[in-house]
Amino acid sequence: MCRFLNVMSRSKNGVLTFCDHTKLFQLLYNNLCFELYEWELDALREYIEQLDIPYWEKHLKNWGHQRKIPISVGKKHFIILVNKEEVSELLSLLCFEKQGVALLSHDEIDYQFIEN
């Protein structure tokens, strides 16, 4: 295990880490593992952001598999198939900048208090 490894983001099915020693990002998602330089990570993020999810879901609507959105990786003959939820999870892993959490105001909380 690399002692220089920093966890950049984590999700239910994956983790994105960065090694200070090798300057490589490692994306582990389900059973896939990618080691990417920063420019490759940026290119992958841009590619996934530009996926036309409605097109692929409509185009492959009669296909019998759940995963209908293709992500071409490296060579043209290697394609990863994902569904809409997996695309959003991958994007959340790849957009690892600190994202502020918007707090709710007291007006936005819909809760009925009942005393026992």
Query: Which CATH number among 2.60.40, 2.60.120, 2.30.31, 1.20.58 corresponds to the domain 5-97?
Result: 2.30.31
36 forms beta bridges with 25
Per-residue burial over 10-47, b if 16 or more Cβ lie within 10 Å, else e, is eeeebebbbeeeeebbbbebeeeebebeeeebeebbee
Q: Is the pLDDT confidence value at 13 over 80? A: yes
Please tell me the predicted confidence (pLDDT) of residue 112.
Answer: 74
Q: Tens digit of pLDDT for each residue in 33-77?
A: 999 999 999 998 999 999 998 998 888 888 888 888 888 887 777
Q: Tens digit of pLDDT for each residue in 80-93?
A: 889 889 999 999 88
Please tell me the predicted confidence (pLDDT) of residue 99.
Answer: 47
- Domain boundaries, given as residue ranges, for the chain: 5-97
pTM of the model: 0.73
